[in-house]
Amino acid sequence: MYDYDLLVVGSANADLVIGVERRPGAGETVLGTDLAVHPGGKGANQAVAAARLGARTALLARVGDDDYGRLLLDSQRAAGVDTVGVLVGGAPTGVALITVDPSGDNSIVVSPGANGRLAPGDVRAAASLFHASRVVSTQLEVPLETVVEVVRSLAPGSRFVLNPSPPLPLPREVLDACDPLIVNEHEAKVILGDACVSDRPEDWARILLAKGPRSVVVTLGAEGALVASGAEVSRVPSVKVDAVDTTGAGDAFTAALAWRLGTGASLAQAAAYAARVGAAAVTRAGAQASYPTAAEVDAL
């Protein structure tokens, strides 16, 4: 019935990465390692992560007609992603400036570039992709009105997964479609706003559910994750590994979870698998280059 297990609608960036001993304070300069350039962006990352795991994956995104755009297209095709939905031109390819400290934690500043030109009309023009996809996943590195159009374009019976990063207040139309809404601590607090009156992630999940999503996943880093659906909230344990670089790990988690939900796994089962995928990803440097195959996840 479906040609694709997962359609990812979202951003494609060139990641410009520098290792630092510590992040600079205001007005301070620190020296770092040599610049490394990697294919990235939340949408492109999720598509590659899913394809590496064996999912039939397509990407709807926009890149510039430049070297960074060609780098991103090459990376998608090498992973087995169908790039028929990747549009070229309109602005330079988006760029993410990333610093990584010795613990593997990162700080990121994004220049959206062509991602900001992915418009609702582009979504409508890709109707055939939506009708051919079992699960559709997106993020907020593209315009919010484009995400709203994604929700309106969903085929009957398909599932919508949203990671609202970077976080913004979301319209009810989008919240009602999420199954699940995937947030980390920071994203949960932004979306909850004044409703965030508790320090307990379990409470965040319940309040988020009350805002409309059909299910919610709260990622907690080394503490694992929470999954919430209906009246049930349960913990998913983390997988202990030595972290090298956390860049793109959340995207790997989201992609793995979205794909497994499409195969019929329960929310808890999908999240447990996604936690293993995310753990494997942080043991290697970079975003897309760190994503494991299904065999590597099974070995972990």
Q: Is residue 14 part of a domain?
A: yes
pLDDT digits (tens, 9 = 90+) for 102-160: 887 878 888 999 999 999 999 999 999 999 999 999 999 999 999 999 999 999 999 99
Q: Tell me: is residue 251 an annotated ligand-binding position.
A: yes
Q: Is residue 186 part of a domain?
A: yes
Mean pLDDT of the chain: 92
- Tell me, what's the pLDDT at 223? 83
In this structure, the chain runs to a length of 300
State the Cα–Cα distance between residues 224 and 120, nearest whole angstrom. 35
**pLDDT band of 9, cuts 50, 70, 90:** very high
- Tell me, what's the pLDDT at 108? 84
HSE-CB of 100 using CA atoms within 13 angstroms:
23
pLDDT higher than threshold 80 for residue 68: yes
**Closest to 285 (Cα-Cα) out of 66, 90, 100, 9:** 100
Number of independent structural domains in the chain: 1
pLDDT higher than threshold 80 for residue 69: yes
The Cβ of residue 2 has, within 10 Å, a number of other Cβ atoms equal to 16
**Closest to 58 (Cα-Cα) out of 1, 5, 2, 7:** 7
- Tell me, what's the pLDDT at 37? 93
| Mean pLDDT along residues 273-280 | 91
Q: Is residue 273 part of a domain?
A: yes
Q: Tell me: is residue 258 an annotated ligand-binding position.
A: no
Range of the domain at 250: 4-23+33-299
The active-site residue out of 3, 66, 251, 298 is 251
State the Cα–Cα distance between residues 9 and 241, nearest whole angstrom. 30
Q: Is residue 105 part of a domain?
A: yes
**Closest to 42 (Cα-Cα) out of 219, 247, 220:** 247
Q: Tell me: is residue 15 an annotated ligand-binding position.
A: yes
Q: Is residue 28 part of a domain?
A: no
Percentage of residues in the chain having pLDDT higher than 70: 100
- Tell me, what's the pLDDT at 156? 93
Percentage of residues in the chain having pLDDT higher than 90: 69
Contacts with 264 (C-beta within 8 Å, 6 or more apart), sequence order: none
Q: Tell me: is residue 222 an annotated ligand-binding position.
A: yes
pLDDT higher than threshold 80 for residue 282: yes
Q: Tell me: is residue 250 an annotated ligand-binding position.
A: yes
| Higher-confidence position of 280 and 65 | 65
Q: Tell me: is residue 245 an annotated ligand-binding position.
A: yes
pLDDT higher than threshold 90 for residue 35: yes
Q: Is residue 272 part of a domain?
A: yes
Give strand ranges (E) for the chain. Answer: 4-9, 13-19, 36-40, 57-63, 82-88, 94-100, 106-111, 133-138, 159-162, 178-183, 215-219, 225-229, 232-236
Here the CATH number for the domain that contains residue 282 is: 3.40.1190.20
| Mean pLDDT along residues 274-287 | 86
- Tell me, what's the pLDDT at 270? 96
Q: Tell me: is residue 290 an annotated ligand-binding position.
A: yes
- Tell me, what's the pLDDT at 39? 94
- Of 120-124, 247-251, 258-262, 271-275, the one with minimum mean pLDDT is 247-251
Q: CA geometry: angle at 72 spanning 56 and 95, to 5°?
A: 130
Q: Tell me: is residue 223 an annotated ligand-binding position.
A: yes
Q: Is residue 261 part of a domain?
A: yes
> Is 251 designated active site?
yes
